[in-house]
């Protein structure tokens, strides 16, 4: 661990992933640190978090290698990295409502390009809580999927949308 990266700071948690990926959270608000080469070098990850510092409480890595970041403010989110979403998927409109959901949740996708999408609901540990649903959208069209949330506990979840173009997720609350 190079002291220049964490001057006057201490590690508060560490998570070890696949293929040399190691995450660390720090006591001070400098953002979680990520190494992609077994700890040889580290980068502060600040993009996509509320506030300017990207401060995180914890990192959870699921058995399938998905990485979830729990920021100090805001929702737990899956870290996708910059290379995991291509331009077509980044232009996909995703609406989740009602949010918070009680009995049912509607996921509406607005696609600029035709495509097939897999939609699932996962908890903060990356466990699937609702089986995958497939949605097909034509170019310039919208499609919707209704998910039953009556059987899952109240809490924060992520609606994960996958396609050939990558993965996106949106935070969803369930309240009973």
Fold of 87-174: Immunoglobulin-like (2.60.40)
Q: What is the pTM of this model?
A: 0.53
How is the chain split into domains, by residue range? 3-79, 87-174
Cα distances from 15 to residues 11, 21, 34, 39, 57, in angstroms, run: 11, 9, 10, 12, 12
The residue-averaged pLDDT of 88-98 equals 79
**What is the predicted pLDDT for the residue at 47?**
59
Region label for 39, one of left (φ > 0), alpha (ψ between -120 and 50) or beta (otherwise): left
The residue-averaged pLDDT of 71-83 equals 57
In the chain, which ranges are E strands?
A: 11-16, 22-26, 33-35, 43-44, 56-61, 67-71, 77-79, 93-97, 104-110, 115-122, 128-137, 142-148, 155-163, 166-174
What is the enclosing helix (H) or strand (E) of 88?
helix 87-90
d(CA 86, CA 36): 21
- In this predicted structure, the answer to whether residue 29 has a pLDDT above a threshold of 90 is no
The 10s digit of each residue's pLDDT in 119-166 is 999 887 778 899 889 988 888 888 899 999 999 999 989 898 888 777
Report the CATH architecture of 3-79: Beta Barrel (2.40)
């Amino acid at each position: 661990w190079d002291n220049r990266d964490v001057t006057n700071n201490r590690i508060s948690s560490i998570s070890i992933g696949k293929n040399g990926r190691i995450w660390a959270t720090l006591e001070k608000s400098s953002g979680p640190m990520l190494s992609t080469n077994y700890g040889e070098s580290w980068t502060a990850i600040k993009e996509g978090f509320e506030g300017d510092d990207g401060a995180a409480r914890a990192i959870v890595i699921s058995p399938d290698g998905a990485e979830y970041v729990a920021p100090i403010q805001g929702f737990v989110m899956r870290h996708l990295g910059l290379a995991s979403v291509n331009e077509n998927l980044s232009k996909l409109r995703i609406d989740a409502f009602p949010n918070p959901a009680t009995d049912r949740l509607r996921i509406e996708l607005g696609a600029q390009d035709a495509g097939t999408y897999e939609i699932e609901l996962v908890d903060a540990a990356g466990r699937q809580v609702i089986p995958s649903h497939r949605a097909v959208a034509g170019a310039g069209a919208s499609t919707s999927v209704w998910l039953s949330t009556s059987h899952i506990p109240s809490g924060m979840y992520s609606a994960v949308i996958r396609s050939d173009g990558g993965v996106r997720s949106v935070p969803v609350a369930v309240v009973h």
